[in-house]
C-alpha cells in the first residue's frame, strides 16, 4: 500500500531591513531550521537576503540561488523585460513546487516584508494553488529608514504616500506635492529626476535620504547633500507635520 507523501510548505520569510536581530522569532526559527533555503540574487552577487542570513543556516543546508535574468539591462517598458521575468518566475515555481511535492519544506529568504514590493509575491501567486504556502511578515525597509532619522514619519491625521522613483517625473511631482508624508523607493539612477521633482513640489528642504537603513553602512543625510547616484538600498523620506496634542 502506497502511503501518500505529506506535502512540504514554501515559507516566504521576511528578514526585515538588514539586521539579524530585527527578524521575528518565527522568521529566525525558519531560517535556522529549514534545510532547503532559497533566495533571489543578481548573477555574480551573493544577494542581500543571503547576506542577512549569513551564519544562521544549518550545516547541511541546501541553498537554492534564484538569479534574475535581467535587472536594469532592459527598460521596464520593453516587452522583453516582462517576458524574461515571467519565464524566470515560472522556472523558480517549478523548482520549489517539486521540493514541496516531495515533502520538503523550503524557506524563501525575502528582504523586508514578502508582500511589500518583493519578488516573492510573483512566486506566491503561482504557487498558492499548487502547494502549501505560508508568509512570515517582516519589518519593511522604509520602517528601518524612518527610525534611522529619529523622527516619526506621521502625526495625527497625516496621509502617508509610498511611491517608486521609477514613476514619470510629472507623476512624482503630483504625489510629492499632494501628500503629508512621503516614502520614495527604488531610487538609484533615478536620483536626478527625483531631486527635480522634490524641488518642483517645493519640499526640497524637508527631504531626507537614508542609505542602508539598519545595516552597518547606514547613513542619513539631507537630499540636498546627496550625490548623483545613490546605493540600491536608499529611501527618500519627507516627514509629516500633522496634528499632535
Reference 182, options 144, 142, 139, 224; nearest CA is 142
Nearest in space to 91 (alpha carbons), one of 66, 58, 120: 66
Superfamily of 141-238 according to CATH: Tetrapyrrole methylase, C-terminal domain (3.30.950.10)
Counting residues of the chain whose pLDDT is more than 90, the rounded percentage is 87
Pairing of strands 160-164, 219-222: unpaired
CB 149 within 8 A of CB 210: yes
Q: Is 86 helix (H, G, I), strand (E, B) or coil?
A: helix
CB 15 within 8 A of CB 23: yes
User: 239 near 146, Cβ under 8 Å?
Assistant: yes
- Domain 10-136, second-level architecture: 3-Layer(aba) Sandwich (3.40)
Backbone region of residue 13 per phi and psi (left: phi > 0; alpha: psi in -120 to 50; beta: other values): beta
More confident residue, 1 or 5: 5
Q: What is the pLDDT of residues 149-169, one digit of tens each?
A: 999 999 999 999 999 999 999
Q: What is the pLDDT of residues 77-119, one digit of tens each?
A: 777 878 899 999 999 999 999 999 999 999 999 999 999 999 9
Between CA 241 and CA 121, with CA 148 as vertex, the angle to 5 degrees is 95
The span from the CA of 135 to the CA of 141, in Å, is 17
Task: Find the helix or strand (DSSP H, E) in which 166 lies.
Answer: none
Look up the pTM and report it.
Answer: 0.91
Q: CA 46, CA 55: separation in Å to the nearest integer?
A: 14
Same fold, 10-136 and 141-238: no
Encode pLDDT of 210-239 as tens digits: 999 999 999 999 999 988 777 888 999 999
Q: How far apart are CA 104 and CA 96, in angstroms?
A: 9
* Cα(156)–Cα(90) distance, integer angstroms: 44
Task: Assign 99 to helix, strand or coil.
Answer: helix
Rounded Cα–Cα distance for residues 180 and 238 (Å): 8
- Candidates 143, 165, 166, 140; CA nearest to 223 is 165
pLDDT (0 to 100) of residue 161 = 98
Strands (E), 95-223: 106-110, 133-136, 160-164, 181-185, 207-211, 219-222
The candidate with the shortest Cα–Cα distance to 33, out of 47, 13, 48, is 13
Domain borders along the chain are 10-136, 141-238
Amino acid at each position: 500500500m502506497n502511503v501518500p507523501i505529506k506535502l512540504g510548505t514554501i515559507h516566504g520569510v521576511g528578514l526585515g531591513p538588514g539586521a539579524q536581530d530585527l527578524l521575528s522569532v518565527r522568521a529566525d526559527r525558519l531560517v535556522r531550521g529549514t534545510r532547503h533555503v532559497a533566495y533571489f540574487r543578481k548573477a555574480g552577487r551573493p544577494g542581500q537576503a543571503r547576506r542577512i542570513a549569513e551564519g544562521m543556516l544549518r550545516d547541511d543546508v541546501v541553498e537554492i540561488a534564484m538569479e534574475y535574468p535581467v535587472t536594469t539591462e532592459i527598460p521596464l517598458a520593453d516587452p522583453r523585460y516582462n517576458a524574461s521575468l515571467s519565464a524566470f518566475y515560472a522556472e523558480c515555481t517549478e523548482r520549489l513546487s517539486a521540493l514541496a511535492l516531495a515533502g520538503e519544506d523550503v524557506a524563501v529568504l525575502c528582504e523586508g516584508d514578502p508582500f511589500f514590493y518583493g519578488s516573492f509575491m510573483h512566486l506566491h501567486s503561482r504557487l498558492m494553488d499548487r502547494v502549501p504556502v505560508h508568509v512570515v511578515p517582516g519589518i519593511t525597509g522604509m520602517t528601518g529608514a524612518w527610525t534611522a532619522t529619529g523622527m516619526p514619519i506621521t502625526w495625527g491625521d497625516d496621509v502617508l504616500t509610498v511611491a517608486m522613483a521609477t514613476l514619470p517625473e510629472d507623476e512624482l511631482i503630483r504625489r510629492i506635492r499632494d501628500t503629508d508624508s512621503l516614502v520614495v523607493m527604488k531610487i538609484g539612477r533615478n536620483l536626478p529626476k527625483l531631486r527635480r521633482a522634490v524641488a518642483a513640489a517645493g519640499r526640497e528642504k524637508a527631504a531626507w535620504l537614508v542609505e542602508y537603513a539598519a545595516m552597518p553602512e547606514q547613513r542619513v543625510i539631507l537630499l540636498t547633500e546627496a550625490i548623483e547616484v545613490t546605493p540600491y538600498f536608499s529611501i527618500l523620506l519627507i516627514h509629516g507635520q500633522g496634528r499632535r496634542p
